[in-house]
């Protein structure tokens, strides 16, 4: 079972910039493969049209994806370091107000760990939906992570 408070505190300690943009962790699945984080509406984070800046939205999504990685593979830190490899973002609708990022691991944990056990450097994708207050998806990210063996 995922301890949301511990996960959130750990992420904010490890990634101080997430604290700068006001990331809050609001939900996690029992297996840790899905985490939702929220960024409140702050004028200091706005862009030229009054919504959250694209950089702030990307940071929120990347932080949520990192929380999924830590919730799912945090017990492997003694033998591998999780690293983001690449990411792409698709902006779909104008975001205004608070934004939520729901991140989901796209591969089974056991499959990724089997590759690590075989001496490989596994890659896996975390998909993140950024939604606005009305539930519409404002942007979607695909972030590819790896577990680099120590």
87-141 confidence digits (pLDDT tens):
999 999 999 999 999 999 999 999 999 999 999 999 999 999 999 999 999 999 9
Quote the pLDDT of residue 79.
96
Nearby residues of 123 by Cβ (< 8 Å), 6 or more positions away: 85, 144, 145, 146
What is this structure's pTM? 0.95
Domains and CATH numbers, the chain: 4-149 (3.10.129.10)
Decide: residue 104, CB within 10 A, 0-12 exposed, 13-18 middle, 19+ buried: middle
How much is the average pLDDT of 7-15?
Answer: 93
CB–CB of 101/108 below 8 Å?
A: no
How much is the average pLDDT of 29-49?
Answer: 94
How much is the average pLDDT of 48-53?
Answer: 92
Quote the pLDDT of residue 1.
78
Asked if pLDDT for residue 40 goes beyond 90, the answer is: yes
CA-CA distance, 95 to 134, in Å (whole number)?
A: 10
Quote the pLDDT of residue 2.
85
């Amino acid at each position: 079972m995922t301890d949301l408070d511990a996960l959130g505190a750990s992420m904010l300690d490890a990634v101080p910039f997430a604290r700068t943009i006001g990331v809050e962790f609001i939900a996690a699945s029992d297996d840790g493969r899905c985490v939702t984080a929220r960024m409140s509406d702050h004028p200091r984070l706005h862009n030229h049209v009054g919504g959250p800046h694209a950089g702030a939205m990307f940071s929120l999504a990347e932080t949520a994806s990192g929380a999924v990685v830590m919730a799912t593979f945090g017990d492997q830190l003694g033998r591998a370091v999780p690293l983001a490899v690449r990411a792409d973002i698709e902006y779909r609708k104008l975001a205004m107000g608070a934004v939520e990022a729901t991140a989901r691991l796209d591969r089974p944990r056991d499959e990724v760990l089997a590759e690590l056990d075989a001496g490989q450097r596994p890659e896996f994708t975390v998909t993140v939906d950024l939604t606005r207050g009305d539930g519409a998806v404002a942007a979607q990210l695909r972030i590819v992570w790896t577990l680099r063996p120590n």
